[in-house]
Chain A
Amino acid sequence: MGNVAIKADALVKWFGEGETKTTAVKSASFEANFGELLYIVGPSGSGKTTLLSMISGILKPNEGAVLVEGKNLWQMKSDDIADLRLHKIGFVFQDYHLFPRLTTVENVAIPLILKKMDWNEAIKVALEYLEIVGLKDRAQLQPVKLSGGEQQRVAIARAIAGHPDILIFDEPTASLDGDTGRKIVDFIKTKILNPQRCVIIVTHDSRIYEFADSIMKMEDGKIIGFERNTLHVA
C-alpha cells in the first residue's frame, strides 16, 4: 500500500530493570497514511510520547518494528536514522525548543543548514517559511521576544522548512489558550497537510478534536481504539 506513511508493528518499550521496570508501550500496532491528520490521545502517562519517539527514530523499541515509507527504521545505522529524520520527518516539540541565541529566521533555517544548504540560501528559504506562518516581520527577533503562539508557529515553520513527508507534533496546543490552539491546528490542517504528507498530533486537548481525520486512543501503553474519519470521539 503506497499510501502508508508509517506502520508500527507490535511495538514494545519498557524502562528500568527489575523492581523499577515500567512498560510504557505494550505491543502497539497502527498505520498512518499520507494525507491524513492523525491524533493520538490518551491520559497522561499512557505512552503517547514514547510511541511517537519510537516511530520517528528517536527511541529504540525493545520489540516490534517501524516501517517508514516501507523501510525498516530500526534496522538502519544510526547515521542513516539521523538522515531519515532530517529528510523525512519534521518535529514540533512540546515546548518548542527554539534556540534563544539565534534569530527567529536562523531557527527556521536549522534543518536546511543541517542539510548542507548554503547559509544565505537557507536564510532565504527560511524567510519564505516564516511568511507561510505569518511571521516574516519577526524574522530578526530573538524567539523569546515572541508570544507563545508565535513561538509555536516558528517551531512549525522550522519543522516544515526541511520539507518532511511526516510531521509530528507533541501537544502543540498544551501551552496555548483555546483560541490560539484552534487557530494553530486549523492552520496545520489547511496549510500544512496535503496528500503527500502525514501529520501526527499528540494531544490532550478536546477543543481541537474536530480537525482530526483519525483518532487513536491510548491507555496504559495500549492502543484501545482507532477511529477513521470521525468528527468526535467521546
Chain B
Amino acid sequence: MSGILKIALKLLVNDKSKFIALLVGITFAVFLMIMMMSMFSGILARSSSSVYNIGAKIWVMDPAVNNATSSIPMPDYVLSNARSIHGVKFAVPVYFGNALVKLKSGAYQAVSVVGLDDATLYGRPELIEGKIEDIYAESAFIVVKDSEFKKLESPTIGTEFEINDHRGLVVGLAKVTSGGLFGIPTVYTTYNRAITYIPSMRFTTSYILIEPKSEADIPFIQQQINKLGYQALTRDQFVRKISDFYTYQTGMGMNVLMMTAISFIVGLSISGQTFYTFILENLERFGALKAIGAKGHELITMILFQASFTALLGYGLGVGLASGLMILAKLRLPSYAAQVTYYNLTFAFIMVLIMAGVSSYIGVRKVLQIQPFDIFRG
C-alpha cells in the first residue's frame, strides 16, 4: 500500500468512535436492504415453485390467472384443440387444488393436491422412496418430503389418512426442487383421483401442459392458443407473470422498494453525516498536508480511499450479518423464505458505492477549498 493511503487509513481507523459510527451506518443500511430484498426474492421464488416443480415447457391457462395455485379451470375442448395444434408433441391436463387431510392424531391439515395426467404422469416428481407406478393403486398418494412434511406427522409408505372424507394411502415420498410459499404440504395423485376426491366446478383442467416438438414451434403454438381465448406461456414467462403480480399488484413490491429506499437514505445520512464530520475535523490536517506539499489529487485519493474502505467493510459486515441471521432463521423455521441473490448483492453494493461516492464528493469539495494559508495563520 502506498504511504499516503496508509496515512489515510490511520487517520480514519485511529479515530475509533467516528470510524465505528461510519461502519454502523453502512452496515445497518446494507443489512436492512439485503434483508428486505432477500425476503422479497425468496417470496417471489417460492411463489413460482409449482411451475418449477412440474417443469413443463408450455403452460396453457385462462388469461386472468396470475398465480400458479389459483388457477381458473378450463373446458375440455381447449385440451383437444391444443392437441391438434401443429408442433405440439403432446398436451396433457394437470390439476391443482386444495384438500383437507385428517391425520391419525385427529388433527386436520390443509394440503395442496397435484393431479397428474393418468396416461403420462407428465410433471411427475422425483421419488425418494416407492415406485411412481404405485400412484395407480387404490387411494394412492405421493407425499412431498419438503419442509412442510412434518405437518403430516411425517408419514411413511403405507401410512393411511383421510382426505376430504376419502381414504388415502401413502405409496411414495418425493422430493421437489423448490419449496412453496404457503406453508402447507403437497401431495401428488392422478388427475382422475384428484377430481373425484376434491369437489370441483364444471371444468376441471387447471392447466394444460404442452411439450412442443421443438423450440421453434413455440410461437405458433402460443398464437393458436391465443385464438382460443387462452394464454400459452413458456415456463419463464409464467414465472415472470407471477412475479409481476406479486411485485406490482399486491403492494408487496412497492413496500419493499420503499423500505429499501428508506434503509438507503438512513444509511446514507448516518454515514454521509459522519464522514462529513470526520472530514471537517480533519480539515486542518488536510490543510497541513497541502502546505507541506501534498497535491490535490493525492488528497482526493486519500478521501476516496477512506470512503471506499469504510463502505466495503460496512458492506461486508452488512452482508455477513444478514446472511448469518437468515441462516439462523432457517435453522429454526425450515420454510423461512428469504434468499440472497446475486442481484440483491449487486444492488446493495451499488447503493453502498453511491453512499461512498456522495460522502467523498462532499469531503473532496471541502478539502480542495481549504487554503493552507488559513492553517498557517493559526
Contact = CB atoms under 8 A, between A and B. Distances in A.
B296 to A, nearest CB: 8
A94 to B, nearest CB: 4
Contacts, number: 91
Interface residues of B, number: 30
B7 interface: yes
B375 interface: yes
* Interface residue SS majority, chain B: helix
A78 B7 CA distance: 23
Interface string B263-292: 000000000000000000000110111111
A58 interface: yes
B106 interface: no
Contacts of B373: 53, 58-59
A52 B376 contact: yes
A58 B14 CA distance: 29
Interface in A92-123: 93-95, 97, 99, 101-102, 106, 110-111, 113-114, 116-119, 122
Contact of B3 (A78, A101, A117): A117
B10 A102 contact: yes
A53 B377 CA distance: 9
Contacts of B372: 58
A49 B377 contact: yes
B4 A114 contact: yes
B224 to A, nearest CB: 72
18 contacts: A58-B291, A58-B371, A59-B371, A79-B295, A82-B294, A85-B293, A87-B293, A91-B376, A93-B378, A94-B378, A97-B285, A101-B10, A101-B11, A106-B7, A113-B3, A114-B3, A118-B3, A119-B6
Interface of B: 1-4, 6-7, 10-11, 14-15, 284-285, 287-296, 298, 371-373, 375-378
Interface of A: 49, 52-53, 58-59, 78-79, 82-87, 89, 91, 93-95, 97, 99, 101-102, 106, 110-111, 113-114, 116-119, 122, 162, 170-171
